[in-house]
Structure 1
Amino acid sequence: MAHYRAPDTKREQFRRYLEKAGVVDSLTSVLVALYEQQERPSNALEFVKQNLGAAGLDSTDTEALQQEVLDLRQKCERLVEENGDLKTRLQRYEPGSEDGATAD
């Protein structure tokens, strides 16, 4: 009989772990959101994936973050171009520094 109780104990410990980590609440909120949809999505698994990853974020937060990513990528590209231009200009004024050696 003791052998039979061991799996139940492990199962109960695992359940407490999931509750403590917030997994149960997150899953519950996603499933409730799916249940409350007026029109059921054609792919319920995809709905769960999208909404589980975005727990706590609304669409305006997501859009703002996506826009920030785009802005930062553009800024990075401009800075890389500017860095290349500055290196080229520097080499015109310091032709001996091309090999990486410095004269002291």
Structure 2
Amino acid sequence: MTSQRVPDSKREEFRKYLEKAGVLDALTKVLVGLYEEPEKPANPLEFLQRHIHGGAPETADVEALKQEVKELKDKNVELQEEVKKLTDKIIELEEGGAQTEQS
């Protein structure tokens, strides 16, 4: 019977790779968090997925952020238009003052 086990050196190399990349620490923290949960989740895999990368943002949060971005873009357009008007007004006043001085 042939064994399809990974040689120990490859296994150790992979373990070092995971440790160096911080994967082992991240997994340990998530598993400890799961262990310490007073009420174990019905779907532990979902718990791991949600906590391994901080979890996906809530849909309501995403929608609120999209709305905020839209409002800020609209406000930015308004402010750019106001800056343009004020700049034109300054130029107009400066030109009017220059013409008065020349007279």
- Give TM class, smaller chain: 0.5 to 0.7
Runs of 4+, deviation exceeding 3 Å: 77-80
What SS does the aligned partner of 2:7 have?
Answer: helix
2:48 maps to amino acid: V
Q: How many aligned positions are there?
A: 73
Unaligned runs of 5+ in 1: 56-61, 87-104
**2:38 match:** 38
**What per-residue deviation string (whole Å, max 9, x for no partner) do you get for residues 32-78 of structure 1?**
000011111011011001111118xxxxxx79xx58x7164231355
Alignment RMSD (CA, Å): 3.6
**1:47 match:** 47
**1:15 match:** 15
1:76 to 45, 62, 73: 73
Identity %: 48
Distance 1:77 1:45 in 2: 42
TM-score by length of 1: 0.53
TM-score by length of 2: 0.54
